[in-house]
């Protein structure tokens, strides 16, 4: 009986040890994932920053070492350019890596969170993988249509602004040309009047002399 009690005690302690070890292991794993961030690391040149999308320890310096590079983010283009390893980004998001706010918006824009949501639906049995892929392709098509519409609107706005500026410039040039023409006309008129006055002054003494000579001949 004593041996049986010792056996049960030993098994209980062993079981508790395994549970404690598993708990510590999960705790370490959770802590590791909590410390894992998806963030931007600055590159490029002065006045033209280009960012790497990286997996890094949250305790590491912002531009220090990183675990993995997921892609490139260039905010200098319109719209911003993103080159992303989609599968690896999805893997890290699904395993609990925490993105910064900017990276979260980038990943949402690229459909990473949409795919995560769809894969969750597959796991729950809401639909199969083929249906999930169809939904994702439909989402991508809607996104491209929206981007095309925004690009067209931007181009139309630029064209309208250019035409408006051209019309305003045309009116300004016409006003300047009119001002120059009026000035030249005024100068020509003033010159003609001055020449006429000068001619009149030159003719006045000759007429006076003719009037003085006329009585003497009589």
pLDDT at 24 (0 to 100): 53
Q: What is the pLDDT of residue 54?
A: 96
Is 179 found in the same domain as 159?
Answer: yes
User: Is 91 inside a domain boundary?
Assistant: yes
DSSP state, residue 47: T
Count how many domains the chain has: 2
- Structure confidence at residue 218 (pLDDT): 45
Determine which helix (DSSP H) or strand (DSSP E) holds 109, and give its type and residue range: helix 101-110
Q: Are 51 and 106 in contact (CB under 8 A)?
A: no
Q: Please list, in sequence order, all residues whose beta carbon lies within 8 angstroms of the beta carbon of residue 95, skipping any fewer than 6 positions away.
A: 33
Q: Which residues of the chain have pLDDT under 70?
A: 1-34, 204-218
CA distance linking residue 139 with residue 131, whole number of Å: 12
pLDDT at res. 52: 95
DSSP 8-state class, residue 125: T
Neighbouring CB atoms inside 10 A of 92's CB total 22
Looking up residue 94, the CATH number of its domain turns out to be 3.30.1320.10
Among 126, 150, 175, the domain-final residue is 126
Q: Which domain holds residue 183?
A: 127-191
Q: Is residue 41 part of a domain?
A: yes
**Of 77, 71, 78, nearest in space to 51 by CA:** 71
Establish if 107 belongs to a structural domain.
yes
Shared domain for 134 and 73, answered yes or no, is: no
Taking the whole predicted model, whether its pTM rises above 0.75 is answered as no
Parallel, antiparallel, or unpaired: how do β-strands 36-45 and 98-99 relate? parallel
Residue 37 sits in the same domain as residue 112: yes
Q: Are residues 165 and 84 in the same domain?
A: no
pLDDT score at 30: 46
- pLDDT score at 102: 96
Together in a domain, 75 and 157: no
Diameter over CA atoms, the chain: 180
Instruction: Identify the residue whose tokens are 């200098």.
Output: 76
52 and 43 Cβ atoms separated by less than 8 Å: yes
Domain-located, residue 208: no
Both 140 and 165 in one domain: the answer is yes
**Token pair belonging to 91:** 């893997």
Q: Domain ends where: 75, 110, 126?
A: 126
């Amino acid at each position: 009986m004593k041996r049986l009690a010792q056996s049960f005690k030993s098994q209980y302690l062993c079981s508790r040890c395994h549970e404690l070890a598993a708990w510590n292991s999960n705790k370490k794993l959770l802590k590791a994932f909590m410390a894992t961030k998806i963030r931007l690391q600055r590159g490029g040149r002065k006045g033209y920053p280009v960012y790497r999308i990286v997996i890094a320890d949250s305790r590491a310096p912002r531009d220090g070492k990183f675990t993995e590079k997921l892609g490139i983010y260039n905010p200098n283009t319109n719209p911003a350019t993103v080159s992303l390893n989609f599968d690896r980004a999805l893997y890290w998001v699904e395993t609990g890596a925490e993105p910064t706010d900017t990276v979260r918006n980038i990943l949402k824009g690229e459909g990473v969170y949409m795919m995560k949501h769809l894969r969750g639906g597959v796991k729950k049995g809401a639909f199969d993988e083929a249906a999930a892929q169809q939904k994702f392709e439909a989402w991508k098509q809607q996104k491209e249509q929206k981007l095309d519409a925004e690009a067209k609107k931007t181009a139309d706005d630029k064209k309208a602004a250019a035409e408006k500026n051209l019309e305003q410039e045309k009116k300004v040039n016409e006003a300047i040309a009119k001002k120059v023409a009026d000035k030249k006309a005024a100068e020509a008129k003033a010159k003609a009047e001055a020449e006429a006055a000068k001619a009149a002054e030159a003719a006045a003494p000759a007429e006076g002399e003719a009037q003085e000579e006329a009585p003497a001949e009589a």
